[in-house]
Amino acid sequence: MKKAAAPRATDAASEAPLASIDLTAPVFVDTSVLILSEDGADPLRRLQAMRWLRVLWQQRLGRSSSQVLNDFYRAVTTRIEPAMPNGDARAEVRRYQRWAPWSTDHATVESAWSLESRFALPYADALIVAAAKAQGCETLLSLALPHGQLYDSVLIVDPMRALPAGVSAADGAFGGAADPLSSLAAVSP
């Protein structure tokens, strides 16, 4: 169950306080967040995404799906500038394989169709939410879905508008370490 704590930081874009999210269950990470974590076009937004990923690695709460990792690979090798070299992108996908990504099965498709019908979600987004539900995630980090929207038991959280409990917006994404990749590798299982 998630609950908002007293605000400690503000969203730079709106000056609104960032919500604090207690992490008590696995957290599903959408393609948009993984892409942002590799895209240097907006360093402040990238830093915020990295704060979330660091906590998810440390607490071993990160979840994803094969769909997300496939979309991530395609996007970082073709859509961001400069494009990530294929070998580096493969290494990232292999690292996220440690989160045991959900593979779409018949039950996931049925759940996605239900979500698509009930919430008027695009099918690809409904598959993401269905995969999160199937893994017992109460939180889905996404830049693409509406922040605060509840789809059955899954709450959409925009990582630019909230932080994991205990993390301050003033904190470096990597606990003071200079090399982000070495910091994440240190907490990867």
For 16-74, the pLDDT digits (tens) are 668 888 999 999 999 999 999 998 888 999 999 999 999 999 999 999 999 999 999 99
Model confidence pTM above 0.85? no
Q: Which pLDDT band holds residue 187 (cuts at 50, 70, 90)?
A: very low
- Whether the CB-CB separation of 167 and 51 falls below 8 Å is answered with yes
The type of residue at 33 is V
Per residue in 107-158, pLDDT (tens digit) is 999 999 999 999 999 999 999 999 999 999 999 999 999 999 999 999 999 9
Helical ranges in the chain per DSSP H: 31-38, 43-59, 66-78, 86-96, 106-119, 123-134, 180-187
CATH no. for 22-167: 3.40.50.1010
Predicted pLDDT of residue 39: 87
For residue 50, which phi and psi values (nearest 5 degrees)?
Answer: -65, -30
Q: Are strands 19-21 and 27-29 parallel, antiparallel or unpaired?
A: unpaired
CA distances from 30 to 65, 135, 144 (A): 9, 14, 8
CA nearest neighbour of 33 among 140, 167, 146:
140
